[in-house]
A and B are shown apart, each in its own frame.
Chain A
Amino acid sequence: LAKTTQPISMDSYEGQEVNITCSHNNIATNDYITWYQQFPSQGPRFIIQGYKTKVTNEVASLFIPADRKSSTLSLPRVSLSDTAVYYCLVGDANTGGFKTIFGAGTRLFVKA
């Protein structure tokens, strides 16, 4: 199973772009990369998912280089409400994502 490594915490200021990088050196061919966001006292919430290159939605962008050994979640112009824990996980499509692993996540603090 592919393990992920993320920074434990990051600080930013309102209005800045935040990039959180995740390392997954052992990613397999069938693995997708997914990012979740978790606020205190809530369950995680899906942000974005991708396989290669770039994916963008209304919340974030996900950049995946050709070797797929890392990925970067980009949050444009963060606000105080983006303070949360962000999880990068890698899942095996052949098992329907059952064996996805949530790591410890990255705790993002957004300051005024």
Chain B
Amino acid sequence: DVKVTQSSRYLVKRTGEKVFLECVQDMDHENMFWYRQDPGLGLRLIYFSYDVKMKEKGDIPEGYSVSREKKERFSLILESASTNQTSMYLCASSKSTLQIIYEQYFGPGTRLTVT
């Protein structure tokens, strides 16, 4: 069974703190993704990575950075957390292919509250 795990289910941080969200997948997938989900807005892509040390901006990268030093691990970093970054953060992974979009496997999510 594919498994994507996230370091925390719930996290409370203060404004200005540096926040690390960790994601690990055990299926040797090339691609990994970070989304945030807010009521009424669906999922919005923050960053994705298609290989170790490779990253691409998604739709809303401002205020975030990412790190992928190992194939199985993809970290989302909030350099200086702000209240508008309070959200549900979802990590996903998928195989890489040129012609067919394989499914993305999602983790359970981290609900981050910035106070």
Chain A residues at the B interface, C-beta cutoff of 8 Å: 32, 34, 36, 41-46, 49, 87, 91, 93-94, 96-105
CB < 8 Å neighbour of B31 from A32, A46, A96, A101 = A96
In the bound complex, do residue B100 and residue A32 qualify as a contact, i.e. CB atoms below 8 Å apart? yes
Q: CA separation between A42 and B40, bound complex, in Å?
A: 16
Residue B26 is within 8 A (CB to CB) of chain A in the complex:
no
Count chain B residues whose beta carbon lies closer than 8 angstroms to a beta carbon of A: 30
> With a CB–CB cut-off of 8 A, which chain B residues contact A41?
108-109
Q: CA separation between A105 and B44, bound complex, in Å?
A: 12
Q: CA separation between A99 and B96, bound complex, in Å?
A: 13
Residue B28 is within 8 A (CB to CB) of chain A in the complex:
no
Chain B residues at the A interface, C-beta cutoff of 8 Å: 4, 31, 35, 40-45, 48, 50, 56, 59, 90, 92, 94, 96-109
> With a CB–CB cut-off of 8 A, which chain B residues contact A105?
42
Q: CA separation between A87 and B106, bound complex, in Å?
A: 14
In the bound complex, do residue A93 and residue B99 qualify as a contact, i.e. CB atoms below 8 Å apart? yes
Pick from A49, A98, A105 the residue with the most CB of B within 10 Å. A98
> With a CB–CB cut-off of 8 A, which chain B residues contact A91?
101
In the bound complex, do residue B106 and residue A97 qualify as a contact, i.e. CB atoms below 8 Å apart? no
In the bound complex, do residue A93 and residue B42 qualify as a contact, i.e. CB atoms below 8 Å apart? no
Residue of B nearest to A91 (CB): B101
Q: CA separation between A43 and B92, bound complex, in Å?
A: 9
In the bound complex, do residue A98 and residue B31 qualify as a contact, i.e. CB atoms below 8 Å apart? yes
Q: CA separation between A98 and B105, bound complex, in Å?
A: 13
